[in-house]
């Protein structure tokens, strides 16, 4: 019989809440429409930011929000986005649809949004087309409390006190859209730019360098060797696409079992990448001072028919939910090194939590996974061993089940389990060693249909419900996990 063994006595470190981070870029309808509707909008808003989206995101405890990109970050000039809106410069968003950006959402609006969401801002600076001085002055503008040109300008723009800013990215994808650099060159640029990212007063920056694209192990090696002692985090970007090549993206809604299997197989590569990148980091940083920050991940499908190809708007099904649940299990299990991530992206772009259409809003299946998994935030990872069968398709196989488990401050044990097989339930013995639960509660996200999703007409077609497939057994529990399901269990002593 399949089994999962959990050893609550074997604690493996804290699962940082920042693993549950989000990414928001000036791309398509993420910032404009997704968050920003303007003060005059009929859509209920606070100072121009829509209330429904903020409220929904607060419910999943988002810990950080990355901005302004992505590729947009390396062509963004922050000074164009402060001061009276009517005087702000327009620019062309060359990466994303060639649309005109009016800069109405800038530094003040972003930091106000983070205050409303009660999350940490994570700002990504411009290395590709910006200057050292521009980056340095952005930090001075945001965080300096004394008399200086930038602090004075901030006050003139209506903000007396500085903000707190912890997470700062020194460029984005500088191996690609951020300047097409070689790692040797970027490592030197990183060293130079980060020198002028100053800590003012008691504000202490957590500096994040641009890390590799997927399995580029040379990039990470060079960065750790040449600049590892000057950073707090190193990023990794890996997106899950359906095809074997980047160009072979599939449809978000129309896929068969091959499309299902391929997506699961490709998302499980995250385990391999995190393991191998961590092993290289261990060579240069055995004490694990530098965090691996997976600040772009998630599914990348073809855009929805009829939408702007540069806007990356895609629907989101049970299949995406399993991708999210699987990745979050991987990150939790690697919490010693993976201490921060950001799924791409939070609203209306790629694997979003939320989709909007005018004044309407829906929560995607991925949102519900983040809701179910939020119990792991700041809890202690405990050792688990999965001994389950494989899911086979077309002569290939992948593990059917993946798991992570943690114990929170009140000693409640939470277990999150994904069954990737769209045809077969899993009967599992959950062995809890010496943890004797007196109460068990569970929630499940599942459906009989692989592409089940929520629409504006039927926004609650797929939502979590109580999990009933759990019975007592000797030294633990017996679980019956339906095919293609995500389960969250809460066990109290």
> What token pair was written down for 274?
């995190």
**For residue 195, what is the enclosing H or E element?**
helix 183-195
**Binds ligand AHR by CB under 6 A, chosen from 70, 121, 162, 437:** 70
Compare residues 342 and 418 and give the one whose CB is closer to ligand AHR. 342
Question: Is the Cβ–Cβ distance between 125 and 193 less than 8 Å?
Answer: yes
Q: Is 143 helix (H, G, I), strand (E, B) or coil?
A: helix
Number of residues that bind ligand AHR (CB under 6 A): 10
Catalytic residue chosen out of the listed positions 173, 242, 271, 380:
173
Q: Could you confirm whether 140 is annotated as catalytic?
A: no
Q: Could you confirm whether 173 is annotated as catalytic?
A: yes
Question: Is the Cβ–Cβ distance between 80 and 91 less than 8 Å?
Answer: yes
**What does the alpha-carbon distance between residue 326 and residue 402 come to, in Å, rounded to a whole number?**
7
CA angle 152, 153, 159 (to 5 degrees): 85
Is residue 21 within the footprint of ligand AHR (CB under 6 A)?
A: no
**For residue 324, what is the enclosing H or E element?**
helix 318-333
Compare residues 94 and 203 and give the one whose CB is closer to ligand AHR. 94
Candidates 216-224, 324-332, 342-350, 374-382: pick the segment binding ligand AHR (CB under 6 A). 342-350
The residue to which tokens 């800038």 are assigned:
106
Is residue 71 within the footprint of ligand AHR (CB under 6 A)?
A: yes
The sheet that has 426-431: what strands, in order across it? 465-466, 439-446, 485-492, 413-419, 401-407, 380-387, 2-14, 426-431, 476-481, 470-473
Minimum gap (Å) between residue 173 Cβ and ligand AHR: 5
Compare residues 33 and 296 and give the one whose CB is closer to ligand AHR. 296
Candidates 43-51, 68-76, 198-206, 473-481: pick the segment binding ligand AHR (CB under 6 A). 68-76
**Total residue count of the chain as it appears in this document:** 493
Is residue 344 within the footprint of ligand AHR (CB under 6 A)?
A: yes
Measured in degrees and rounded to the nearest 5, phi and psi for residue 403 equal -145, 150
**Binds ligand AHR by CB under 6 A, chosen from 15, 24, 25, 483:** 25
Coarse DSSP helix, strand, coil percentages of the chain, rounded to the nearest 5 percent? 30, 30, 40
Q: Binding string, 299-338, against ligand AHR, x = CB under 6 A?
A: ----------------------------------------
**Binds ligand AHR by CB under 6 A, chosen from 173, 232, 320, 431:** 173
Site for ligand AHR in 350-369 (CB under 6 A): 350
Minimum gap (Å) between residue 95 Cβ and ligand AHR: 7
* Residues at the contact surface with ligand AHR, assessed by CB under 6 A: 25, 69-71, 172-173, 296, 344-345, 350
Q: Which residues are catalytic?
A: 173, 296
């Amino acid at each position: 019989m399949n089994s999962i063994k959990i050893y609550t006595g074997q604690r493996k470190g804290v699962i940082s809440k920042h693993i549950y981070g989000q990414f928001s870029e000036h791309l398509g309808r993420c910032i404009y429409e997704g968050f920003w509707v303007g003060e005059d909008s009929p859509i209920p808003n606070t100072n121009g930011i829509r209330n429904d989206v903020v409220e929904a995101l607060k419910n999943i405890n988002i810990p950080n929000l990355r901005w302004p990109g992505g590729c947009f970050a390396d062509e963004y000039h922050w000074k164009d986005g402060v001061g009276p809106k009517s005087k702000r410069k327009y620019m062309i968003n060359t990466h994303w649809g060639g649309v005109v950006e009016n800069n109405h959402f800038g530094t003040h609006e972003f930091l106000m949004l983070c205050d409303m969401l009660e999350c940490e801002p994570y700002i990504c600076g411009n290395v590709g087309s910006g200057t050292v001085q521009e980056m340095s002055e952005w930090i001075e503008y945001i965080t300096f409390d004394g008399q200086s040109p930038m602090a004075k300008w901030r006050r003139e723009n209506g903000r007396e006190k500085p903000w707190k800013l912890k997470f700062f990215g020194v460029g984005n994808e500088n191996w690609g859209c951020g300047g097409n650099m070689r790692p040797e060159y970027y490592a030197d640029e990183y060293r130079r730019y980060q020198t002028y990212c100053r800590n003012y007063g008691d504000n202490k920056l957590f500096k994040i360098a641009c890390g590799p694209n997927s399995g580029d192990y040379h990039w990470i090696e060079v960065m750790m060797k040449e600049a590892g002692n000057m950073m707090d985090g190193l990023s990794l970007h890996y997106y899950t696409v359906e095809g074997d090549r980047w160009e072979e993206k599939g449809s978000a809604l129309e896929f068969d079992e091959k499309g299902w299997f391929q997506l699961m197989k490709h998302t499980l590569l995250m385990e391999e990448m995190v393991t191998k990148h961590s092993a290289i980091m261990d060579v240069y940083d055995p004490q694990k001072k530098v965090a691996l920050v997976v600040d772009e991940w998630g599914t990348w499908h073809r855009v929805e028919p009829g939408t702007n190809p540069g806007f990356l708007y895609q629907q989101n099904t049970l299949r995406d939910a399993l991708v999210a649940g699987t990745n979050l299990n991987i990150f939790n299990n690697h919490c010693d090194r993976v201490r921060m991530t950001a799924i791409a992206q939070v609203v209306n772009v790629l694997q979003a939590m939320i989709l909007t259409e005018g004044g309407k809003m829906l929560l995607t299946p991925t949102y519900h996974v983040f809701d179910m998994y939020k119990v792991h935030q700041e809890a202690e990872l405990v050792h688990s061993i999965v001994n389950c069968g494989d899911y086979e398709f077309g002569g290939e196989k992948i593990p059917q089940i993946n798991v992570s488990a943690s114990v929170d401050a009140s000693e409640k044990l939470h277990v999150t389990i994904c069954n990737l097989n769209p045809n077969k339930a899993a009967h599992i013995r959950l062995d809890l060693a010496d943890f004797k639960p007196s109460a068990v509660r569970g929630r499940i996200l599942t459906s009989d249909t692989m592409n089940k999703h929520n629409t504006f007409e039927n926004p609650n077609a797929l939502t979590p419900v109580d999990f009933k497939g759990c019975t007592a057994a000797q030294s633990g529990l017996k679980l019956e996990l339906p095919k293609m399901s995500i389960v969250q269990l809460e066990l109290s002593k």
